[in-house]
Amino acid sequence: MTIDFVTGVMAETIRITLLISAPVLIVGLAVGVFVSLIQAVTQVQEITLVFVPKIVACLIALVAALPWMMNVLMSFTINIFNNIPNYVR
């Protein structure tokens, strides 16, 4: 097992992590900006008003993206398990 091999596995792990978390984070960001914009326009400065729409939108995004997330994670895990003989050399 070389340094390049370990670096490649680590880079793939970080890429998969970012790819899996991106849909929920992007939806949370978009909803947060939208609610903040509505708050600025209407001058309603309630801090807790942002959290409920953001949580609901993130849960909806999570349910919608869950099959794709599971496919990506399962293929990555299968790839890791299939390459175990390469890791112990």
- How far, in Å, CA of 85 to CA of 48, rounded? 51
Q: In this predicted structure, what is the pLDDT of residue 2? A: 81
- How far, in Å, CA of 37 to CA of 82, rounded? 49
Q: In this predicted structure, what is the pLDDT of residue 5? A: 83
| Residues 1, 89 contacting (CB under 8 angstroms) | yes
Is 80 exceeded by the pLDDT of residue 52? yes
Q: In this predicted structure, what is the pLDDT of residue 40? A: 86
Is 80 exceeded by the pLDDT of residue 1? no
Domain membership of residue 19 as a residue range: 3-87
Angle separating helix axes 3-42 and 51-82, nearest 10 degrees: 170
What's the pTM value of the predicted model, to 2 decimals?
Answer: 0.79
Taking residues 42-70, what's their average pLDDT? 90
Instruction: At 64, list the tokens.
Output: 């919608």
Distances in whole angstroms, Cα of residue 60 to Cα of each of 23, 47, 55, 71: 11, 22, 9, 18
The label of the residue with tokens 């978009």 reads 30
Taking residues 19-24, what's their average pLDDT? 95
Could you give the number of structural domains in the chain?
1
